[in-house]
Structure 1
């Protein structure tokens, strides 16, 4: 699925959309943790989930500073992100990680775009860059780990 997050015309809409994306990601992480057979993999995914929770905390503060309501849950896309994980569960841990990697593709793209948003102040850009690096790290681990599984 290709995300449009990061193309918003205002910083307020960008922050709100990033929050929806993060809540969707957290729901997918919860589904993944629950479904993985290998508990070592689940523990690593739980560590990555903590990054997403920190992103939500930072975005919530940004929303407060911008004077906008911060979403407290995902949007309709959540059914797609968690649905991919549920379907992948039928084929095992490798398929689950590959499905999670495709979800991470969206967050990587969204934060990469956010780093270039014309309304982002330096502090916001610094957070977007850090989040982008977190998402790239998650995606790389999911991809390389999935490739080692049979």
Structure 2
């Protein structure tokens, strides 16, 4: 794979991670902030998306590529980063939206992993993909357990 193609894929992943950050900011606010049980877990996921974005940015620089100026784009609309709802969402609706977002990010990472990437880039994308799968599993479990009705500690979820 040509370096320009690799940098293009990394740039696309970086844009997706930035969109995810915006979505997590909104989701955390909607569920009561990082001090709430669900908000706390979502805040941890947001930090991981920040870490992914920084790693992608650094990888692009190391390749001699210029990281893109990232603004929310069409994916941001899908993820919910651009269009706030007209009414306050409940925790279930927020988690359902975030599940859709994590399904999207997981699918995009999977698609990039299907490409013939250099080993260092593959390792970077694999780590991010593993985090995305874990985020998705936690959100699906939270939805299955109707976590918003529970006051117990959330850490017991996968």
Q: TM-score, normalised to structure 2's length?
A: 0.80
Cα offset, 1:84, TM superposition: 8.7
Instruction: Please tell me whether the aligned partners of residues 11 and 68 of structure 2 are also in contact (alpha carbons under 8 angstroms).
Output: yes
Structure 2 residue ranges without an equivalent (≥5): 150-158
Q: In structure 2, do the counterparts of structure 1 residues 53 and 72 end up closer, same or farther at CA, with 3 Å as the change threshold?
A: farther
Corresponding residue SS for 1:28: helix
Instruction: Please tell me whether the aligned partners of residues 21 and 74 of structure 1 are also in contact (alpha carbons under 8 angstroms).
Output: no
Aligned length: 141
Q: Which protein is richer in helix relative to its size?
A: 1
Matched, 1:13 2:19: no
Matched, 1:82 2:80: yes
Q: In structure 2, do the counterparts of structure 1 residues 47 and 72 end up closer, same or farther at CA, with 3 Å as the change threshold?
A: farther
RCO comparison, higher one (Cα < 8 Å, 6+): 1
Q: In structure 2, do the counterparts of structure 1 residues 112 and 94 end up closer, same or farther at CA, with 3 Å as the change threshold?
A: same
Q: Distance in 1 between matches of 2:52 and 2:81?
A: 23
Cα offset, 1:83, TM superposition: 5.5
Find the partner of 1:63 among 55, 60, 65.
60
Instruction: Please tell me whether the aligned partners of residues 22 and 74 of structure 1 are also in contact (alpha carbons under 8 angstroms).
Output: no
Q: In structure 2, do the counterparts of structure 1 residues 70 and 106 end up closer, same or farther at CA, with 3 Å as the change threshold?
A: same
Return 19-28 or 37-46, whichever deviates more.
Answer: 37-46
Structure 1 residue ranges without an equivalent (≥5): 1-8
Find the partner of 2:93 among 77, 85, 95.
95
Cα offset, 1:116, TM superposition: 2.4
Q: TM-score, normalised to structure 1's length?
A: 0.84
